[in-house]
A = this chain, B = another copy of it.
C-alpha cells in the first residue's frame, strides 16, 4: 500500500495562507513530516487562481524538493500550471488528475506522454460520476482509449474508481469495489488509487469508517491512497491489513512497527482476546 501524502493542499486554510505568504518553513515541515511517515508521493495543490497557479506550483515544487527527494503528485486541472510545475520537478511526477472530459484529456495527455508521467484517472466524464459500476467502466474505456492513443502505457495510469458518500447511497462502497475489480479484469496493467474520506460524509466517527473502508478496499485490490500519512490509526489499519493479506513476510513490518510505537494507538484492549 503506497500513500500519496495529501497535506500540502491549498484548499486547506493554513496551507493557503502559507502559499500566499510564501512561508517556506511551514510547507517544508509538512513535506518532511509526510515523508518521514512513509509517503511514496507528496500531493501538491496550490488551490489558487488560474493566473497565479503556475507560479505558485513552481514555488511549491522547489520548496518541497529543497528538503525531500520523493516524487511529487502535481494536483491541478490546469495544463499551464502542470506544464510549469513538471519542468521544475527533479523526479518524474505523477499528475492528479484526468477524467473522461475531452478538453482535459487534450490539455493534459500530451504532457503526461512527453514527460512519461504517472497519471491519476477518475472513472467519470467531465461532470457526472456514473452511479453504476458499468457506467464507470464505460468512462474508463474512454479514458484508456485516449491514453493508449497518446502512447501512454497502461502501467503509468492510476484509476480512481471514485468513492461516493454511503449515507446517500448504501451501495457506494460496493460500487467502488466492483468497479475496481471490473477495471482490473479489463486492464490488468493499470494501478489504482483513491481518496477515502467521501465515504463517510454526513455520518459520525468518520475517521473510523474511512479506515474500515480502506481495509476492505485493500482486499478488493486498492494499491495506493491519497490520505494523511500522519494518521497513526490509518497506518495501523494498513499495516495490519497487509499482514493479514499475506504481504508482510515473517510479520517483520508489523512487529517492527509495533516496536517503534506505530501501533500504540490501537493498543487499548489489545490483549483482550489473549485470555
Q: Mark A182-213, 1 if CB is under 8 A from B, else 0.
A: 00000000000000110110011111111011
**Residues in chain B near residue A220, CB distance under 8 A:** 219
The answer to whether A258 and B205 touch across the interface, beta carbons within 8 angstroms, is yes
Residue A240 interfacial (CB < 8 Å): yes
CB distance from A47 to the nearest CB of B (A): 14
**Residues in chain B near residue A174, CB distance under 8 A:** 245-246
The answer to whether A207 and B12 touch across the interface, beta carbons within 8 angstroms, is no
**Residues in chain B near residue A77, CB distance under 8 A:** none
The answer to whether A246 and B171 touch across the interface, beta carbons within 8 angstroms, is yes
The docked-state distance in angstroms from the alpha carbon of A220 to that of B177 is 12
The answer to whether B208 and A255 touch across the interface, beta carbons within 8 angstroms, is no
The answer to whether B251 and A166 touch across the interface, beta carbons within 8 angstroms, is yes
**Residues in chain B near residue A228, CB distance under 8 A:** 272-273
The answer to whether A205 and B273 touch across the interface, beta carbons within 8 angstroms, is no
The docked-state distance in angstroms from the alpha carbon of A231 to that of B220 is 27
Name the residue of chain B whose CB is nearest to the CB of A227.
B273
The docked-state distance in angstroms from the alpha carbon of A216 to that of B211 is 12
The answer to whether A203 and B266 touch across the interface, beta carbons within 8 angstroms, is no
The answer to whether A266 and B166 touch across the interface, beta carbons within 8 angstroms, is no
The answer to whether B212 and A240 touch across the interface, beta carbons within 8 angstroms, is yes
How many copies of this chain sit in the oligomeric assembly? 2
Q: Mark A244-275, 1 if CB is under 8 A from B, else 0.
A: 11101111001100100001011101111111
**Residues in chain B near residue A4, CB distance under 8 A:** none
Name the residue of chain B whose CB is nearest to the CB of A13.
B275
The answer to whether A205 and B267 touch across the interface, beta carbons within 8 angstroms, is yes
The docked-state distance in angstroms from the alpha carbon of A234 to that of B242 is 19
Q: Mark A205-237, 1 if CB is under 8 A from B, else 0.
A: 111111011011001100000001001010011
CB distance from A253 to the nearest CB of B (A): 11
Q: A246-B171, A255-B204 are in contact. Are A269 and B213 (CB under 8 A)?
A: no
Residue A243 interfacial (CB < 8 Å): yes
CB distance from A178 to the nearest CB of B (A): 10
Apart from A204-B255, A205-B240, what are 15 other A-B pairs with CB-CB below 8 Å? A166-B251, A167-B251, A170-B251, A173-B246, A196-B273, A204-B258, A205-B263, A206-B271, A206-B273, A207-B274, A208-B266, A212-B237, A216-B244, A219-B220, A228-B272
Q: Which 8 interchain pairs have the tightest Cβ spacing?
A: A205-B270, A197-B273, A173-B244, A208-B266, A207-B272, A212-B240, A174-B246, A204-B258
